Chain A
């Protein structure tokens, strides 16, 4: 019943808001609405909905953001096919399609989560006119979506009750890293800005305009990809850290799910830390350098794999206990311990052979 009540309440609210914004706002005579011809695409809708002078804020659409979405490729009419020739004077809800019509699998997955009992509408988290693909948004943007409802201070306080190094963890993972059923993870490396005022839980990822100033006439990618081969080697990561021209920039790694799941839940797998930390070195082998683009989205570049990812200085502030250990250091440690064993074993052996010499008369 609670689910039904929530859904009903959300639907009524959505209808009311949508109906309100359908009325003209300029007071001019309206010739009536048409989606226009195929060549004009979404332009007939955006003539009004992208113009802040013609439409209210809630129905305003950013043309740049919308055109970048996959939804724009399908066209406005795909979801809003109930728009009549009298739109917006008829005051009817312009939407007839729900997210579930296309994203049924995600919807089914989402309803299995406890989260769906509290929030039943997709638009609470996703704006269909701005939504980006998971690989186009930054890890911090993923978390920022959660922060719309969950306060950082409260998150810190509840996690600090059981999670050691809470700030470090929160700064090195996203909410969905633990609170979904994702099976595999990648180490996403960002270019971040040092700021003594920000705590470890809130790193500051450098945006495109900041990095482009640093890069000068070059593309921001070449700040790290020095040989312009669209591939990041460990040497290039190390080189970035050593390059004094980069000033206040550093490489910040965040563990993100390879495939984001919508089965949000209080993740039992995370309680004892074993799930992440006992994954072994393979858990940190897939790495991508995530760079901001001029349109506000992000793109990923492959980073060299292998145990060398954990080498000194590659990503100096990322270390996942138990997983990102360095094999060379392990061998040195084993040699040190072997040195400690050799003496007792060797001495003990000769001691055994000469035991008669120490027998008391």
Chain B
């Protein structure tokens, strides 16, 4: 096996990723101040925190919409890239889980090798399915609803009121925050701690070249 450079992350994807990252971190910090203002004052006044949160929220919601639009209707790769196939949810998923829980500690190499057509391992796909198709859309929608309470207040009263909406938004945001920590940590599990960060900055990833042509796309021996 010899290392090979693969152009894995095109420029628009990288811009989208880091814009999203900045937006979500801003949302987490300003959101924490909005909920616990007597303890957290990192954004200055409460009004600054609200304005920052609203702005970052709109940016992330737009960014998500662009992402969805691009992968669904422009590249058409949304399903193949982000939705795990049934056969991936059995052995490949277990194999990846075993790697993270056991093989990694023994010094084994990852059973998955990213290609431009198959960037995520089955575990990543499963996580992104929950994050990008459930949590981010719902946290964005609940945030947009919170920005437009006036027009929808009668509907809100019927489903339990503003408090319900705030609770849904807060808990979804906590899930996103929890994912964020795991996401950043898992990104350090490459051959070096920054091995997976570099491709998201430069676009190029160094992958081990396999001569075996029988292997499934994205899956190593």
Contact = CB atoms under 8 A, between A and B. Distances in A.
Interface residues of A, number: 51
B45 A164 contact: no
B160 A313 contact: yes
Contacts of B185: 343-344, 347-348
B46 A272 contact: yes
Interface string B105-122: 111000000000000000
Given A167-B150, A194-B154, A317-B153, A344 B182 contact: yes
A140 interface: no
Contact of B105 (A272, A274, A330, A357): A357
Contacts of B130: none
Nearest to A317: B161
A328 to B, nearest CB: 9
Interface residues of B, number: 44
B136 to A, nearest CB: 15
A343 B163 contact: no
A333 B171 contact: yes
B47 A274 contact: yes
Contact of B167 (A162, A329, A343, A348): A329
Contacts of B180: 340
Interface in A305-334: 310, 312-313, 315-319, 321-322, 324-326, 329-330, 332-334
Contacts of B45: 272-274
Given A325-B35, A339-B178, A317 B46 contact: no
Contacts of A340: 177-182
A96 interface: no
A250 B157 contact: yes
Given A164-B50, A339-B178, A351 B150 contact: no
Contacts of A321: 34-35, 50, 166
Nearest to B100: A347
B38 interface: yes
A278 B100 CA distance: 43
A358 B188 CA distance: 13
A99 to B, nearest CB: 38
Interface in B32-65: 34-38, 44-48, 50-51, 54
A339 B171 CA distance: 13
Contact of B171 (A273, A329, A357): A329
A354 interface: yes
Contact of A350 (B105, B107, B175): B105
B105 A351 contact: yes
A165 interface: yes
A316 B48 contact: no
A326 B163 contact: yes
A337 B35 CA distance: 15
Contact of B107 (A271, A344, A357): A357
A199 interface: yes
A274 B156 CA distance: 26
A336 interface: yes
A164 B54 CA distance: 10
Contacts of A313: 160-161, 163
Nearest to B106: A357
Which interface residue of B36, B46, B162, B163 has the most chain A CB atoms within 10 A?
B163
B132 interface: no
A341 B47 CA distance: 30
A206 interface: no
A333 B180 CA distance: 14
A50 to B, nearest CB: 44
B164 A316 contact: yes
Contacts of B164: 312, 316
A196 B151 CA distance: 10
Interface of A: 162, 164-165, 167-168, 194, 196, 199-200, 250, 271-274, 277-280, 310, 312-313, 315-319, 321-322, 324-326, 329-330, 332-334, 336-337, 339-341, 343-344, 347-348, 350-351, 354, 357-359
21 contacts: A164-B51, A194-B154, A272-B44, A274-B37, A274-B47, A279-B38, A280-B37, A312-B164, A312-B167, A315-B161, A316-B162, A316-B164, A317-B162, A319-B161, A319-B163, A321-B166, A322-B38, A326-B163, A329-B167, A334-B174, A340-B180
Please list the 6 inter-chain residue pairs (A to B) with the smallest Cβ-Cβ separation, ordered nearest first: A316-B161, A340-B178, A272-B45, A344-B185, A357-B107, A278-B37
